[in-house]
Amino acid sequence: MLNTLIAIGAAQALYLTLLVLVKKNKGWPEYILAAYLATVAVTFALTFFALAYDLPDLMAFQLNISLLLAPLFFIYIRSLTQTQEQRPSILLLHLGPYLVTWVYWLYLFSVHTEYELYVLFSETPDAELPLLFVLALLLDTLAIPIYAGWSLWILQKHKRAISNAFSYTEGIDLKWAKGLVYCAGVLWLGIAVPESFRTDVAWDLDERSVQIGYALATFFIFYLGYFGLKQGHIITWQPNAVSRPASDQPDDEPEPATKYLKSGLKDEEAQVHAETLIHYVDTEKPYVQSRLSIQDLAQALDVPARHLSQVINEHLGQTFYDFVNRYRVEEFKKRITDPRYKNYTVLSIALDCGFNSKSSFNRIFKKVEGCTPTEYLRANRGDGE
C-alpha cells in the first residue's frame, strides 16, 4: 500500500513538472515551481526504490534532498508576490544551510561502512550522534513551521498590497496558496512531529500515520500543481514603503500616514489631485471596467501612481479597492431602480457595473450597505430576483 502511494506521488510530481515546463509565457514563479515539483518527484522516487529494494544508503540520499523542499516552497510563494526575479544571493541565503547539510550527509555515508553507520545512528550503547547531524535533524523538523509562518506573513502583505493597487481580487489574492501553507502545517503536525520523537530508526511500513502522511503529501502535490498551473502573473504596483514590515492594521484600512513621509506630495497638490480624481470618476465612470487598476487611473489622470495612492489613502481615507467598489455599488443602486434596466437581471446589472462575479458582488455590497442585495431589493424595488 505504501509503495503504491509513493509511486503515485512520484509519477504525479514528475508529470506536473513537465506540464509546468511546457507552459507558455513562463516566468520566475513557474521555474521555481518546476524545481520544487522535480525535487518532490526525485524524493518520492528514491524512497520507492529504497523501500522496494532495501537500500538504506538510497534512503539517506533521499533525506538529503528532502531538506530542500521547505525553502523551495517558501521561495515559490515569495516569487508569486514579487514582480522582480530573486537575486542569486537570496536563493543561497535559503538553500545554503541545506546544501551544507547535504554535503555533510554525503561525507558520512562515504567514509563509514554500513555497520558503522548502524552503530552511529541506532539506539545502542555505543551510539553517539554527531552534533551537525543532530542540528540537521532539528533544522529539518523546524523548517516547515518557520517557512510556513514566514509564507503566511508574506501572503498577508500581498493581500494589503493588492488592495491599494487593484479594484478586484479574483485570480490575484492567492487564497489557494494560503490553503497550501495550512496543508503543509497539517502534514508537519501529523507526520514530522511524531516521527521526530521516535526511539527507533527503521520505519514500520504498516504504520497508519506513515500511509496517511504519504496520501496527504500526494494530495498536496496535486493541489500545488493544479493551482500553480492556473495562476497567472500578478503585475503589481507598490509604493517604495510597501516593503516595510506589515503591521496589525486591518487589510481594508488605508495605509498609515507615516508610509508617505518621503513621497514629496504637498497638501495643496494632494487636494487638487483628489478633486481631479473624483471629477474624473464621476463623469467618466472608469469603475465599470472590471479589471481597473490604480495604474490605469494614474495614466488617465497623468498623476504618479504613488501620489494617487497617497491621495486615496490619506485624503479620502480608503484603500483603492474600497474606493472603486463603493462607486460600483452606487452605480448598481442607480441602475436597479432605473426603468431602462427593468428587463435586466440583477447579476447582469452588477457585471455591467464592474463586478467580476456574483460572489464578489454579494460580498462587497453587504460590506458597503450592511445588507445583502436581495434584502436591499426587497426594501427598495419590491422583489429579489
Question: Model confidence over 307-337: pLDDT tens digits?
Answer: 999 999 988 999 999 999 999 999 999 999 8
Distance CA 169, CA 236 (A): 12
- 217 with 361, same domain? no
Distance CA 344, CA 276 (A): 33
* Band of pLDDT at residue 15, cut at 50, 70 and 90: very high
Buried b / exposed e along 162-180 (16+ C-beta atoms within 10 A): bbbbbbbbeebbbeebbeb
370: region left, alpha or beta (phi > 0 left; psi from -120 to 50 alpha):
left
Of 316, 180, 166, the C-alpha closest to 235 is: 166
Do the Cβ atoms of 153 and 248 come closer than 8 Å? Answer: no
Count of domains observed in the chain: 2
Residue 309 lies in a domain: yes
Cα–Cα separations (whole angstroms), residue 20 to 12, 122, 177, 200, 297: 12, 41, 17, 39, 34
Residue 243 lies in a domain: no
Of 357, 358, 354, the C-alpha closest to 335 is: 354
* Range 77-96 average pLDDT: 74
Residue 265 lies in a domain: yes
* Range 16-30 average pLDDT: 92
* Range 352-372 average pLDDT: 95
CATH code: domain of residue 107: 1.20.1070
Q: What is the pTM of this model?
A: 0.80
CATH code: domain of residue 309: 1.10.10.60
- 189 with 289, same domain? no
How high is the pLDDT of residue 199?
Answer: 44
Q: Return mean pLDDT, the chain.
A: 81
Cell 508610509 found at: 259
Do the Cβ atoms of 71 and 145 come closer than 8 Å? Answer: no
Distance CA 306, CA 310 (A): 6
Cell 422583489 found at: 383
Distance CA 126, CA 118 (A): 10
- 68 with 203, same domain? yes
* Band of pLDDT at residue 248, cut at 50, 70 and 90: very low
How high is the pLDDT of residue 116?
Answer: 64
- 290 with 185, same domain? no
- 206 with 278, same domain? no
Buried b / exposed e along 284-304 (16+ C-beta atoms within 10 A): eebbeebebbbeebbeebebe
- 6 with 136, same domain? yes
Do the Cβ atoms of 144 and 186 come closer than 8 Å? Answer: no
* Range 255-279 average pLDDT: 77
Domain limits for position 277: 252-380
Residue 247 lies in a domain: no
